Amino acid sequence: MLYRNGEPFLIKGASGFTNLKQLREAGGNTIRVWDTLNLAKILDSAQANHLAVIAGLPMPSSENLDDFYKSPKAAMYTSKLTGIVQRFKNHPALLAWCLGNELAFPNKPKYNQFYAVFNGLIDMIHQQDPRHPVTTTIMTFQKKNIMNIKLRTTIDFISFNIFGSIQTLQEDLEKFKWFWDGPFLITEWGIEGPWLAENQNAWGAYIESTSTKKAEQYLANYQKYMPVNNLRFLGSMVFYWGQKQELTPTWFSLFDENGAETEAVQVMRYIWTGKKATEKPPMLKYMLLAGQGARDNILFQPDATAGSKVYFENADTLGLTFKWKVIEEDWFKPNGIFSEKKPKEINHLIIRQSGSEISFKVPGKEGPYRLLVYVYNKKGAFATSNTPFYVLKNP
């Protein structure tokens, strides 16, 4: 159990640092950030909105032995983090420190220096700031990482970044408690990410669900699989509270870049408070592009004319505003990580728009693209859908 201001504290949180007023109004109480960039401003904003903060202290990969852990850089970085801890340890919004994000914790002796630096930083935080615990995050429930964290580190509790594998988390915890029965926090959870092979079309474009379908998935994942009754459970943090470019601008985003909210925000409000929304955002079913769906490997000739339509649970689209975009698909994936570079939007392509239908000019340049639609209601809440297509010139 975590304590804040002397009282038991269950984390009802989100990964992200924007839209804090909406988080508090939805019943959330904590945010998590990955680094110390703008940490002073973030802590102050959180405090103003009565939110706690888990502050990230980035660490290089444990593989960076010669370049970092066995070099003078490690001592310099330790000095830098010491200054950060000393500066912010008394901020009233601070809840905990998170040392590293999704590090690997190997067992081979050659990594001894990594563990020496890592534990040295934990000891420094414990000495400088004994009131705030230290955690680290790992990807999913990996027994080898958990084993080495327990045996070779002095971390206070383990945090999981967990998406689709949340479905087996309760079973995993139960089967491994003979070895590790410590407290845990879920620092990232949500819909499945764009990394499953079955979510790709013929040229490797990833198929994204509508925001309506995603909202259903957020609710189902929490209600079916979140280990809320486990006495070791410290809470959870939904991903991502804000707008984040990761493969697409909308895949993980619970908001748009102007702070408008998707239905998933209403889902979190229901999870945290038990209160259902009186008015929902537009309820999207699917999009068709040239009469085809996202999995149909849609090909166009350059500069052709194409049409698209989005379909709704309710046929009445009166009062809805439609915003369409064509973007160049970014399918570059360095080291298995999806690029966070904002995709290039191709302007001046829409020929005609009538409610939920458009016709547009296909880009003249060969390559992969994606058509996106944002549908807003009168209160500013919105729904999204998108479809990949490929421009291919006949030989």
The class level of CATH for 284-391 reads mainly beta
Cβ proximity of 309 and 357 under 8 Å: yes
- Orientation of helix 39-48 relative to helix 73-88, angle to 10°: 30
Q: In 10 A of CB 25, how many CB atoms?
A: 13
Measured torsion, CA atoms of residues 300, 301, 302, 304, in degrees rounded to the nearest 10:
-80
Contacting residues for 88 by C-beta, under 8 A, at least 6 apart = 39, 40, 43, 55, 94
Measured torsion, CA atoms of residues 190, 50, 24, 14, in degrees rounded to the nearest 10:
-10
The string of DSSP letters for 328-364 reads E-----GGG----SPPPB--S-EEEEETTEEEEEPPS
Domain assignments of the chain as residue spans, ordered by start? 2-273, 284-391
Residue-wise pLDDT tens for the chain (395 aa)? 899 999 999 999 999 999 999 999 999 999 999 999 999 999 999 999 999 999 999 999 999 999 999 999 999 999 999 999 999 999 999 999 999 999 999 999 999 999 999 999 999 999 999 999 999 999 999 999 999 999 999 999 999 999 989 999 999 999 999 999 999 999 999 998 887 667 888 988 889 999 999 999 999 999 999 999 999 999 999 999 999 998 899 999 999 999 999 999 999 999 999 998 888 888 999 999 999 999 999 999 999 999 999 999 876 677 899 999 999 987 666 555 566 778 889 999 999 998 899 999 999 999 999 999 999 998 889 999 999 999 998 77
**What's the pTM value of the predicted model, to 2 decimals?**
0.94
Tell me the one-letter amino acid at 137.
T
Q: Which residue matches tokens 């903060």?
A: 53
Cβ proximity of 139 and 102 under 8 Å: yes
Domain covering 2-273, topology = TIM Barrel (3.20.20)
Beta bridge partners of 96: 54
Cβ proximity of 252 and 193 under 8 Å: yes
Q: What is the CA radius of gyration of the chain?
A: 23
**Rounded-to-integer distance, Cα 69 and Cα 55, Å:** 22
Beta bridge partners of 367: 391
**Rounded-to-integer distance, Cα 8 and Cα 29, Å:** 13
